[in-house]
Chain A
Amino acid sequence: MSRIKRTFEKLKEDNKKALIPYITGGYPSLGACQRIIEVLAESGADIIEIGIPYSDPLADGPTIQRASEIALSRGVNTKDIFEMVGNLRKKLSTPIVLMTYYNTIYRYGEEDFAKEASGVGVDGVIIPDLPPEEGSLWRKLAKENSLDTIFLVSPTSSNDRIKKIISASSGFIYCVSLTGVTGARSGLPADLSDFISRVRFLTNKPLAVGFGISSADLAKRVSETADGIIIGSALIDLIDDSNIKYDKIAKFIKNIKEAIGG
């Protein structure tokens, strides 16, 4: 059983929800990023999502675009992220998923990427611009290397597509809360609970909801229907490039964890 699956099963037994913070790998620097991830884990994160910075992140809003640009301007590359995960793995047992655009994997070599990711202790991979139709080779390689393949469903996905995505996914299903790019929003889309119910009706696999969740209040409301919540831009907005306040980050994560049921 994968570490991600085990995490969700354990949470379910305890009647709890998963908190999945996202951070752009190498932002604001490789060292600081590693320290931030440790703080996230210590503060209650159940799974940690690390983005590989990319030059053209077309599913991301301004916050993550900027974080990626800064990481790239400091020379962060795919190998650095693998190395960072390897370092983290020595201390953390928290599941780690990578979020990466497909060209990063394609250029690295899909097989090499899967092997190295698995080797350093990555548990799953999210590829926001790879629909299951284009992902058959990736799924095969991921499976061979014990990586979960986390595909995304969106409010615009038909039930037929949702079924296809569910069957291609392992670990959890990433439910995109809204039509749009990543980034903190002040409210939830009106049709969110209908959308989650629609997916829930079709699967027992864990559902994690992301995009737009910016506060403990929104996280709480989403967690009422989902198995986990993903929070990215709101966390990155807290990270002041020149003066990182780790205690502030810890407090933010603890608050959200508490809001979704501890």
Chain B
Amino acid sequence: MVFPDSKGYFGKFGGKYVPETLMAALTELEAAYKKYRKDENFQKELDHYLKDYVGRPTPLYFAERLSNYYNAKIYLKREDLCHTGAHKINNTIGQALLAKRMGKTRIIAETGAGQHGVATATVAALFGMDCHVYMGEEDTKRQAPNVLRMKLLGAEVIPVTSGSKTLKDAMNEAIRDWVTNVRNTFYIIGSVAGPHPYPMMVRDFQKVIGKETKKQIQKQEGRDPDYVVACVGGGSNAIGIFSPFLNTETKLVGVEAAGLGLETGKHGAPLARGDVGVLHGSKSYVLQDEFGQIKEAYSISAGLDYPGVGPEHSYFKEHGMVAYGSVTDKEALKAFELLSRMEGIIPALESAHAVAYLEKLAPKAKGKVIVVNLSGRGDKDLETAAKALKESL
């Protein structure tokens, strides 16, 4: 069975729950994507930019000291070495090339940590497009360096002051912009969330992470890994690296943000603690109250501070295809420091959640081959981390 089905469902998750005004745009987008994903010239252009502009393939790096520390064979998929510092650009290049072919001149995006916003502003500059990025006011503060980067790249950054002033609200505002300017605007969604065809399209553009990892681990280990670990906010880096290992012997682990602790209610773990609902155009696990009001998520990492999750992850969870765990702010900060000191790599706070999961996984995986998706670099998080780590830094 190929997912999603023709209506955009992964089992019972997904779909298109959007205002009627957007339905025509989604149909147009789906048709364009179906046409171009098999188009040789489109693929050639995409491959060209991924290689010469983004810097792919990214290395699969054997982390020797970390491996010794945890008594396992740990590899890091270095998405942090992508141009702009995270995996997000794999997707924005793809969508921008699509936008260009569809004759759309105005680009909008939502961003949490700012990595997707930067990756969108970057491709908009590259292809000479007008770019507007919605970002929760709270996030513009904690990810200030990325705001400056977007502005330098020529994008307009619009702080969103409604609701929790984070990623969820930025996405609401981006959708409102899209409803208003739908005729000339292409909405580049940054995760495997949103209405169909976005979860499928973003997944497909991020599959490159998994394809490379599979080849690289085969070359270095002569076999597939025992585990692949990735953090899950909306879930695009995880879907990307998981995809070639689904339904194989490799165990897949998605790590959600436990924030201050799952029991405190202050977290970003809809798969662990949410209920099925509809948010931002698709049906999936969502943090919500008994009347369906969306709850505010919380995480020290702006990219994981989201009450929803991509519908395909909900499907994976329901069918036991991926195991989902969670990591608190504190544990992530510890991993942030550990990876910096032990490997000379400062991870994004999002990716630090995946690294932190090793603490739980390693004791039961002695000698096993573990790939951790290092989805982004941590320069943007220095201020947040410095504040939180003030005792030890």
Q: Are B18 and A104 in contact (CB under 8 A)?
A: no
Residues of the A chain whose Cβ atoms lie less than 8 Å from the Cβ of B275: 107
Residues of the A chain whose Cβ atoms lie less than 8 Å from the Cβ of B293: 54-55, 72
Q: Which of B179-187, B222-230, B231-239 contacts A (4 or more CB under 8 A)?
A: B179-187
Asked if B288 is at the interface (CB within 8 A of a chain A CB), the reply is: yes
Q: Which of B21-29, B95-103, B114-122 contacts A (4 or more CB under 8 A)?
A: B21-29
Task: Classify chain B's interface size.
Answer: 35 or more
Q: Are B181 and A131 in contact (CB under 8 A)?
A: no
Knowing A152-B19, A154-B21 touch, does A107 contact B288 (C-beta < 8 A)?
Answer: yes
Closest A residue by C-beta to B21: A154
Interface residues of B in 65-104 (CB under 8 A from A): none
Asked if B277 is at the interface (CB within 8 A of a chain A CB), the reply is: yes
Asked if B132 is at the interface (CB within 8 A of a chain A CB), the reply is: no
Q: Are A104 and B24 in contact (CB under 8 A)?
A: no
Asked if A181 is at the interface (CB within 8 A of a chain B CB), the reply is: yes
Chain A positions 127 through 161: 1 when the CB is less than 8 Å from some CB of chain B, otherwise 0: 01111011000000000000000011111111001
Task: Classify chain A's interface size.
Answer: 35 or more
Residues of the A chain whose Cβ atoms lie less than 8 Å from the Cβ of B183: 156, 179
Q: Are A181 and B176 in contact (CB under 8 A)?
A: yes
Q: Are B279 and A59 in contact (CB under 8 A)?
A: no
Knowing A77-B291, A107-B275, A107-B291 touch, does A56 contact B17 (C-beta < 8 A)?
Answer: no
Cα distance A158–B25 in the bound complex, in angstroms: 11
Residues of the B chain whose Cβ atoms lie less than 8 Å from the Cβ of A176: 19-21
Residues of the A chain whose Cβ atoms lie less than 8 Å from the Cβ of B23: 131, 154, 156-157, 161
Q: Are B20 and A154 in contact (CB under 8 A)?
A: yes
Q: Considering residues B276, B281, B291, which has the most beta carbons from chain A within 10 angstroms of its beta carbon? A: B291
Please give the distance in Å from A131's CB to the nearest CB on chain B. 6
Knowing A78-B291, A181-B176 touch, does A165 contact B182 (C-beta < 8 A)?
Answer: no
Knowing A107-B292, A129-B278 touch, does A56 contact B163 (C-beta < 8 A)?
Answer: yes
Asked if A58 is at the interface (CB within 8 A of a chain B CB), the reply is: yes
Chain A positions 198 through 230: 1 when the CB is less than 8 Å from some CB of chain B, otherwise 0: 000000000000000000000000000000000
Q: Are B277 and A129 in contact (CB under 8 A)?
A: no
Please give the distance in Å from B301's CB to the nearest CB on chain A. 21
Asked if B16 is at the interface (CB within 8 A of a chain A CB), the reply is: yes
Q: Are B162 and A65 in contact (CB under 8 A)?
A: yes
Residues of the B chain whose Cβ atoms lie less than 8 Å from the Cβ of A69: 162
Cα distance A38–B163 in the bound complex, in angstroms: 31
Q: Are B163 and A55 in contact (CB under 8 A)?
A: yes
Asked if A187 is at the interface (CB within 8 A of a chain B CB), the reply is: no
Closest B residue by C-beta to A61: B176
Asked if A252 is at the interface (CB within 8 A of a chain B CB), the reply is: no
Q: Are B292 and A179 in contact (CB under 8 A)?
A: no
Please give the distance in Å from B341's CB to the nearest CB on chain A. 41
Closest B residue by C-beta to A76: B291
Residues of the A chain whose Cβ atoms lie less than 8 Å from the Cβ of B175: 58
Cα distance A95–B175 in the bound complex, in angstroms: 32
Partner of B20, one of A55, A106, A157: A157
Q: Are A108 and B179 in contact (CB under 8 A)?
A: no
Q: How many A-B residue pairs have CB under 8 A?
A: 113
Asked if A2 is at the interface (CB within 8 A of a chain B CB), the reply is: no
Residues of the B chain whose Cβ atoms lie less than 8 Å from the Cβ of A55: 163, 293-294
Interface of B is mostly: mixed
Chain A positions 149 through 193: 1 when the CB is less than 8 Å from some CB of chain B, otherwise 0: 001111111100100010000000000100111000000000000
Closest A residue by C-beta to B7: A133
Closest A residue by C-beta to B181: A179
Q: Are B278 and A59 in contact (CB under 8 A)?
A: no
Knowing A58-B172, A107-B290 touch, does A161 contact B24 (C-beta < 8 A)?
Answer: yes
Closest A residue by C-beta to B183: A179
Please give the distance in Å from B158's CB to the nearest CB on chain A. 14
Residues of the A chain whose Cβ atoms lie less than 8 Å from the Cβ of B279: 56, 103
Please give the distance in Å from B25's CB to the nearest CB on chain A. 7
Asked if A102 is at the interface (CB within 8 A of a chain B CB), the reply is: yes
Knowing A156-B24, A156-B25 touch, does A130 contact B17 (C-beta < 8 A)?
Answer: yes
Cα distance A261–B384 in the bound complex, in angstroms: 61
Interface residues of A in 43-70 (CB under 8 A from B): 54-56, 58-59, 61, 65, 69
Cα distance A61–B24 in the bound complex, in angstroms: 21
Interface residues of B in 13-43 (CB under 8 A from A): 15-25
Q: Are B19 and A58 in contact (CB under 8 A)?
A: yes
Q: Are B172 and A56 in contact (CB under 8 A)?
A: yes
Closest A residue by C-beta to B26: A131
Q: Are A134 and B180 in contact (CB under 8 A)?
A: no
Knowing A104-B291, A107-B290 touch, does A152 contact B163 (C-beta < 8 A)?
Answer: no
Please give the distance in Å from A226's CB to the nearest CB on chain B. 17
Please give the distance in Å from B184's CB to the nearest CB on chain A. 10
Q: Are B19 and A59 in contact (CB under 8 A)?
A: yes
Residues of the A chain whose Cβ atoms lie less than 8 Å from the Cβ of B25: 156
Asked if B168 is at the interface (CB within 8 A of a chain A CB), the reply is: yes
Interface residues of B in 134-184 (CB under 8 A from A): 162-163, 168, 172, 175-176, 179-183
Closest A residue by C-beta to B294: A55
Residues of the B chain whose Cβ atoms lie less than 8 Å from the Cβ of A129: 17-19, 278, 281
Residues of the A chain whose Cβ atoms lie less than 8 Å from the Cβ of B176: 58-59, 61, 181
Closest B residue by C-beta to A100: B292
4 nearest A-B residue pairs (beta carbon):
A107-B292, A154-B21, A180-B180, A55-B293
Known: A181-B179, A181-B180. 18 other contacts (CB 8 A): A58-B176, A77-B291, A78-B291, A78-B292, A102-B17, A102-B278, A103-B292, A105-B292, A106-B277, A106-B292, A107-B275, A108-B291, A133-B16, A134-B15, A151-B20, A152-B19, A157-B20, A179-B179
Contacts from B to A (Cβ < 8 Å): 7, 15-25, 162-163, 168, 172, 175-176, 179-183, 275-281, 283, 286, 288, 290-294
Interface pairs (5), CB distance under 8 Å: A101-B278, A101-B292, A129-B281, A179-B21, A179-B180
